[in-house]
Structure 1
Amino acid sequence: MIRAIWFLIKVAVVIAIAVWLADRPGTVTVTWLGYVIEMSFAVAVLIGLAALALAALGYRFVRGLLRSPGKLRRYGRSRRRERGYRALTQGLVAVAAGDAHTARKMARKADGLLNEPPLTMLLSAQAAQLQGDDRAAREYFTAMLDRPETAFLGLRGLLTQSLKAGDRVEALQLARRARSLQPNTPWLLGTLYDLEARAGDWASAEGTLQQAIQAGAIPAEDGRRHRTVLLLERSFEAERRGRGDAALSHAQQAHDLMPGFVPAAVRLARLQLAAGRHKQASKVIERAWRQGPHPELADVYREVTDGYDPVARVKLFEKLLTQAPNSVESQIAVARVAMEAKLWGEARNRLTRALEIEPSRRLYRLLAELERNERQDEEAARGWLAKAAAAPADPAWTCTECSAVSHAWGGLCGHCGAFDSLQWKAPTLAVSLMEPTEAAPALAKPSAA
């Protein structure tokens, strides 16, 4: 409505001007080079307006001609950029599809069309990786380090290559450098933590673990177990350096985090035993036994009660039995000290009860030992040993990564170097037993704090 009113006003103004000019006729005379041109004022106005219109059109035409080369250049660059991004997209799709030939081809095309090295270098590096050209991929990733906007991507590529090649020393250096650029990246924190743990840098690994938990890279429950293992390794390290108080402190923290974790209970009890704290050591074992009987706990309890006479030791072990009466380990633990006290009937009753719960290779061997010691019956002993040979393997500290078996628990697998991978279970593969690693000597033998 408003636009219509303005249009009518403009028409009215034009008509008013035309009427005003018609009511006031006049003559315009132009003398130029001997010529005299006479016309009415209205015609002169029209001619002037026409001349201005022609001049404006001419100006626009000339300006368009002058600007056309720039427009053509911009159009060409736009088309080139569009083709470059299309090649880049096709290259990324080829990388995702595993088509190394197309990815490399599109990378070269995009590199020629686009003046954006960060994008094309990344595609070229990924294409080289697909083709198995690790040297070329490394060159691309290294070149990316020179640009602040691509440095992190270059470090990630080099880190991936180092991990693939098994070079954990270089991988650790790259991971720490990458963290300085992006300190809160979840995947990086998880990778850095694993590398520091595998390198035995327990203090740094513990700090990185806390950061990884906060970033959501590691679940809180898994993080609690990992921290327990790290504290145990710090305890071993402190003991090797002659820092008995620190060793005991770290072991206590580990046990407080996971009271039912057998290596933590064993470690703490043995350090307390070495410090002459027999009563505290007994309580640690009894508390852990309630949560899960284990032969290593029984071994430490035997060391704790070593100063008692044999019959009294049997009574003390019966305390463990009352806490887990339906456990094979409880029956075996009492049977062993009963055999040492030469309470043959008690030992046989416990071994028979254990046999009813779950037969095992270790149980058959104890029955063979009982036959020899009590009755000197070699034939019966050989019968039990034959059953032991046919029975499944007993549980042992087995690596979940490589299935290697260790004689003692440690934070690192002595075969593949995996961190926190040893679990107490029956081996699934026939592998050679590894000797105890240097990282966990105190689980094999008690040592002074």
Structure 2
Amino acid sequence: MTRALWFLIKVAIVVGIAVWLADRPGTVNINWQGYVVETSFGVAVLITAAVLAFAVFLYRVVRGIIRAPRTLGRYSRSRRRERGYKALTRGMVAVAAGDAATARKMARKADGLLNEPPLTMLLSAQAAQLQGDDRAAKEYFTAMLDRPETAFLGLRGLLTQSLKAGDRVEALQLARRAQSLQPNTPWLLGTLYDLEARSGDWAAAEGTLQQAVQAGAISADLGRRHRATLLIERSFEAERRGRSDAALSHAQAAHDLVPGFVPAAARVARLLAAAGKLRPAAKAVERAWRINPHPDLADAYRDVLANYDPLTRVKLTDKLRVAAPNNAESHIALAQVSLAVQLWGEARTHLNKALELQPSRRLYRLLAELEREERQDEEAARAWLAQAAAAPADPSWTCTACNAVSPTWGGLCGHCGAFDSLEWKAPTMTVSLMAPESTTTAITHQPSERPVGPAVPQSAT
């Protein structure tokens, strides 16, 4: 509608000018070199307009001829870029589809058509990875490091290759170098944190963990749990270096951060007891017991109460039962202390109560021990042991990454090296981290010591 209106306006203007010239006739005389040209004013205007139009047309023709080579060159380059980007797109689709041959072919074609190495090198590297040519992929990724705009992509590719090859030392170096280029990249912070933790660089891992939580790479709840684990490991490290105050400080910080975290509560209780602070040590266990009754806490509690007389130990242990009266672990903890001081009736009462709440292998073994110790009844003991053999496996510290079972908790899995992967659960397939009794050593974890180095795994059963 608007274009039609403008056309009508233009026609009206032309008609108006024509009418205006017709109403005002006149003549134009041109005397040049003895020639006299005489015409009407309107005709002179038309001739002038025609000459100007022809001049404009002639100018455009000449300009087009002069610019033809440049125009053809620009068109040719445009076509090459179009074909190059089409090949690049097809190559990326092939990479996503896992078609290594097409991806490699399209990478070579795009490289020949486009003068943009950053894009073609990345596609070539990905195509090489699909074909399993890690050496060629590494060469492409390494070449990308020479260009600022592709350095981060190159580092990511090399980092992925190092992780795939299991070279954590090189992966850690690459991750730190990549972080210097992109310090707030979530996936990179998560990877760097995991590598630092696996390498035992606890202080650096703690700093990176805080950045990862802030960047959203790790949730706040999981971040607190990971930080508590790091603090416990720092506590062990400080103790090995003879810094008992720092060891206690780190353990206490872990316990305050996650009060129900069993390793933190047991660690701080033993350190407090070693420092002669028995009352705070007992309170630490009792605080955690209300949240998460656990055999390791009961062991730590017995260590704290070791210097008390037998009846006092039984009386104080009853606090755990009061804190969680409907949990089998409370009754088992009290039964174990009663067994140790030969209060057979008390032990049997609590073992039977625990049996009502939650039967387990460990419970049947304790009942067998009670029959031997109190009545020297081997037949009854064997009956309980037979039930223990038929019962489901007891929970243990099991790695969620490889399903290996460890006799004690640790920040790192001794089988696969995963960090903070040990959970208290019944394993579905057992891979023992405990060296067999027939070998020279077995893993032990004394209250004031930390096991050093991974154990020798047995075959899965």
Task: Compute the TM-score of the two structures, normalised by the length of structure 1.
Answer: 0.91
Change in 2 beyond 3 A, CA 1:242/1:15: same
**Any conservation in 2 of the 1:314–1:337 contact (CA below 8 Å)?**
yes
Question: Which residue matches 1:398?
Answer: 398
Whether the 8 Å CA contact 1:267–1:442 is kept in 2: the answer is no
Q: Which amino acid aligns with 2:240?
A: R
SS of 1:132's partner is: coil
Q: % of aligned pairs identical?
A: 71
Aligned residues: 437
Q: CA 1:424/1:48 → structure 2, altered by over 3 Å: closer, same or farther?
A: closer
Shift in alpha-carbon separation, 1:285–1:103, aligned structure 2, 3 A? same
Q: Which amino acid aligns with 1:348?
A: R
Partner residue in 2 for 1:438: none
In structure 2, give the amino acid aligned to 1:445: P
Q: Distance in 1 between matches of 2:411 and 2:118?
A: 41
Q: Are 1:369 and 2:392 counterparts?
A: no
Contact 2:118–2:150 under 8 Å retained in 1: yes
Q: Check conservation: 1:100, 1:131, Cα contact below 8 A.
A: yes
In structure 2, the residue matched to 1:334 is 334
1:129 partner letter: Q
Moved more, 153-162 or 367-376: 367-376
1:140 aligns with 2:137: no
Contact 2:414/2:433 (CA < 8 Å) preserved in 1? no
CA distance in 2, matches of 1:425, 1:16: 103
Match 1:28 to one of 26, 31, 36: 31
Distance apart, 1:55 and its partner CA: 3.8
2:327 counterpart letter in structure 1: S
Q: Distance in 1 between matches of 2:13 and 2:390?
A: 112
Aligned to 1:104: 104
Matching residue's letter, 2:254: A
Q: Which has the higher contact order (CA 8 A, sep 6+)?
A: 1
Give the corresponding residue for 2:37: 39
d(CA) in 2 for partners of 1:285, 1:128? 56
User: 1:55 & 1:309 partners in 2: Cα distance?
Assistant: 120
Would you say 1:193 and 2:193 are equivalent positions? Answer: yes
Structure 1 pair 389/26, CA: closer, same or farther in 2 (3 Å)? closer
What value does the CA root-mean-square deviation take over the aligned residues? 2.4
8 Å Cα contact 2:232-2:250 kept in structure 1: yes
After TM superposition, the structure 1 = structure 2 runs for residues 13-412 of structure 1, keeping only pairs within 5 Å, are: 23-24=26-27, 26=29, 28-31=31-34, 37-40=35-38, 51-412=51-412
What is the rounded CA distance, in whole Å, between the counterparts of 2:75 and 2:227 in structure 1?
Answer: 60
SS in 1 for 2:424: strand
Q: Does 1:426 align with 2:400?
A: no
* Contact 2:236–2:449, Cα closer than 8 Å, also in 1: no
Offset from partner CA, 1:373-432 (integer Å, 9 cap, x none) = 111122222222222223222221111111111111111001100000011112211322
- Residues 259 and 265 in structure 2, CA contact (< 8 A), matched pair in contact too: yes
What's the offset of the Cα at 1:8? 5.0
1:311: how far off? 1.9
Contact 2:361 2:391 in 1 (8 A): yes
Cα deviation for residue 116 of structure 1 reads 0.9
Taking the aligned partners of 2:350 and 2:9, their CA distance within structure 1 comes to 111
Query: For the Cα contact (< 8 Å) 1:271–1:447, is it kept in 2?
Result: no
Amino acid at match of 1:382: R
Q: Distance in 2 between matches of 1:131 and 1:267?
A: 50
* 1:232–1:264 contact (8 Å) kept in structure 2: yes
Superposed displacement of residue 192, structure 1: 0.8
| Structure 1: tracts of 5 or more residues without a match | 32-36, 436-440
Cα separation, partners in 2 of 1:444 and 1:49, compared to 1, 3 Å:
same
Q: Using a 3 Å threshold, how does the CA distance of structure 1 residues 25 and 298 change in structure 2: closer, same or farther?
A: closer
5+ residue gaps, structure 2, are 436-442, 451-461
Scaled by the length of structure 2, the TM-score of the pair is 0.89
- Describe the shift of the 1:356–1:61 C-alpha distance in structure 2 as closer, same or farther (beyond 3 A): same
2:38 counterpart letter in structure 1:
S
Report the 3-state secondary structure (helix = DSSP H, G, I; strand = E; otherwise coil) of the residue aligned with 2:161. helix
1:1-16 → structure 2 map (5 Å cutoff): none
Is 324-333 or 227-236 further displaced after alignment?
324-333
